[in-house]
Amino acid sequence: MEKMLRNFFLYLAGNKTLTKMAKKYGLKFGASRFVAGETIERAVQVIQDLNQKGIKVTLDFLGEFISKESEANEMANNTIRSIKYIGEQHLDAQVSLKLTSMGMDISDEIVMRNMRKILEVAKTYDVFVTIDMEDHTRTEQTLKIFTQLKSEYDCIGTVIQAYLYRSQKDIEQLHPLSPRLRIVKGAYKEPADVAFPNKKEVDENYKKLVRTHLLNGHFTAIATHDDAMIEYTKQFVQNHKIANDQFEFQMLYGIRPERQLELVKEGFNMRVYVPYGTDWYGYFMRRLAERPANVGFVLKGIVKK
């Protein structure tokens, strides 16, 4: 049943018509539990509130299925606006973005131009940029673009997904770049010929990737809500005397906020991924797919309307 619901929400997440419709109608169905708001002003309030609690942020201006150059340029300009807000208001925040929203599916030239424009501003304001990882058809291209940009800018990192068979090799290949990597389990619907179909195998690979990257001596973001992964990391860094500034825990806005605070109180660096904007639909559907228990919030949201 849980698997069926997961597939259903991942199917809905990929629906372009619903994505477009959702933009028009504002945050609905309890999406505001996971999305900070539709405007940068509202997102800034959320960041300030989290910062006051000792929680760092990575801010994402939501956007999916970009097919026109003008849309990609607008996404890039909005991301630049976020970076300027972060810098000018001295927020403890970074930004995250998706290469498809910067024009990766349109042309190499457009995505590279937008990324360099963003990274120039990020460098000026000393704001770190993480490239999110999308579905497996885009992994190769994303890592290629990341590798090129990392040779030009220091303030850039990316994401490795534990459900992909290829990830251990990718981590080893990226090692010479000393990259700051976020390790996640993976949020897309992937076929069994590219991704581990079982949670147990994904979890084992997750731990292996965390181990590899930490022992390679690089900064590692442990992005998960799973206590088993968190406890494993705590034990591992203690056993190997890895300093607190070589890693951080990351969670998504609205998920396990009390656990986020506990980790801060225990003295760990904690960063929360805060999405905002009108293009909330796909992001929201992937959150529902991860945890069908969240559907209860949706139903309550519908009833309240």
Catalytic residue chosen out of the listed positions 60, 170, 180, 182: 182
Considering the rule CB under 6 A, would residue 161 count as an interface residue with ligand FDA? yes
CB atoms within 10 A of CB 150: 19
Positive/negative CA dihedral, 73, 75, 79, 82: positive
Q: Which of residues 176-205 bind ligand FDA (CB under 6 A)?
A: 182, 184-188
Element (DSSP H or E) covering residue 272: strand 270-276
List the x/- string, 72-111, binding to ligand FDA by CB under 6 A.
----------------------------------------
Considering the rule CB under 6 A, would residue 273 count as an interface residue with ligand FDA? yes
Q: And the tokens for 185?
A: 């389990």
Residue 26: partners with Cβ closer than 8 Å, 6 or more residues away: 38, 278
- For the question of residue 291 being annotated catalytic, the response is no
Strands (E), 41-196: 56-61, 93-97, 129-131, 156-161, 181-184
CA 120 to chain centre: 21
List the x/- string, 104-143, binding to ligand FDA by CB under 6 A.
----------------------------xx----------
Residue 5: partners with Cβ closer than 8 Å, 6 or more residues away: 289, 292, 295
Out of 138, 166, 290, 298, point to the residue binding ligand FDA (CB under 6 A).
290
**Residues labelled catalytic:** 132, 182
Binding site for ligand FDA (CB under 6 A): 132-133, 159, 161, 182, 184-188, 223-227, 250-252, 255-256, 273, 290-291
Residues annotated in a binding site:
98, 133, 161, 185-187, 199, 224-225, 286-287
